[in-house]
């Protein structure tokens, strides 16, 4: 068994596509029209194109419990998911220059360094660097 796809709830797929590709640097893997303004829109890491796909899921638009859960996580400051990076400080600097907002600046905690950003689509995303 292996993970091939994870879903991130977004309120606007097009806005999310722009943020995740233009700011975070992911690449589009699939973009299929499902009708009704919905798309099967998946992304992959630019340096791991055969890795797991991220589905930008319009769940909060169509399923109220998804929106309630997303709102609760955002309000509490909890990340929806985590992306590993080689250097949190470098990503923080790069993304800050692109206008990305962070609720937590790079912080070291035991064997990791992390920062938390707002994806502009209803989610906090945690960036993590594993320290040696």
Domain count along the chain: 1
Burial of 123 (0-12, 13-18, 19+ CB in 10 A): buried
pLDDT score at 132: 83
- For 25: left if phi > 0, alpha if psi spans -120 to 50, otherwise beta; the answer is left
Residue range of the domain that includes 14: 5-130
List the CATH number of the domain containing 23.
Answer: 3.10.180.10
DSSP helix/strand/coil, 86: coil
Q: How many CA atoms lie within 13 A of 8 on its CB side?
A: 30
| pLDDT tens, per residue, the chain with 132 residues | 999 999 999 999 999 999 999 999 999 999 999 998 899 999 999 999 999 999 999 999 999 999 999 999 999 999 999 999 999 999 999 999 999 999 999 999 999 999 999 999 999 999 999 998
Q: Can you give the pTM of this predicted structure?
A: 0.95
């Amino acid at each position: 068994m292996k993970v091939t796809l994870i879903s991130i709830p977004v309120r606007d797929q097009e806005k999310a596509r722009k943020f995740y590709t233009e700011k975070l640097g992911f690449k589009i893997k699939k973009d299929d029209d499902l009708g009704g303004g919905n798309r099967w829109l998946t992304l992959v890491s630019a340096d791991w194109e055969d890795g797991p796909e991220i589905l930008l899921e319009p769940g909060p638009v169509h399923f109220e419990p998804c929106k309630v859960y997303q709102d609760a996580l955002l309000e509490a400051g909890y990340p929806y998911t985590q992306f590993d990076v080689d250097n949190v400080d470098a990503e923080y600097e790069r993304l800050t220059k692109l206008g990305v907002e962070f609720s937590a600046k790079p912080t070291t905690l035991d064997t990791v360094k992390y920062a938390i950003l707002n994806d502009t689509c209803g989610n906090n995303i945690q960036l993590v660097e594993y320290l040696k």
